[in-house]
Structure 1
Amino acid sequence: MTTPIQASIPLGFANTTRTNVFHSRNKSFAS
């Protein structure tokens, strides 16, 4: 499933690894 949030994850990763970790953890929890 491709969602806008998934597309935002790479942006956060490029912006800040710390933010990516937070999003990744949130995504895992949501899944």
Structure 2
Amino acid sequence: GEVQDLLFIATERYKFCVLQWDPETSELIT
């Protein structure tokens, strides 16, 4: 369904953002 697709995309983006996060500096790597 369309809602499931949106949830999947949102989850993938969230995971990506978490991966980009540097826990040592607590800053978002751009």
Larger radius of gyration: 2
Structure 1 consecutive aligned stretches of length 4 or more whose deviation exceeds 3 Å: none
Name the structure with the higher strand share: 2
Q: Which has the higher contact order (CA 8 A, sep 6+)?
A: 1
Name the structure with the higher helix share: 1
- What TM-score, normalized to structure 1? 0.51
- What TM-score, normalized to structure 2? 0.52
Distance 1:19 1:28 in 2: 14
Unaligned ranges ≥5, structure 2: 19-30
**Matched pairs, number:** 17
Aligned-pair identity in percent equals 6
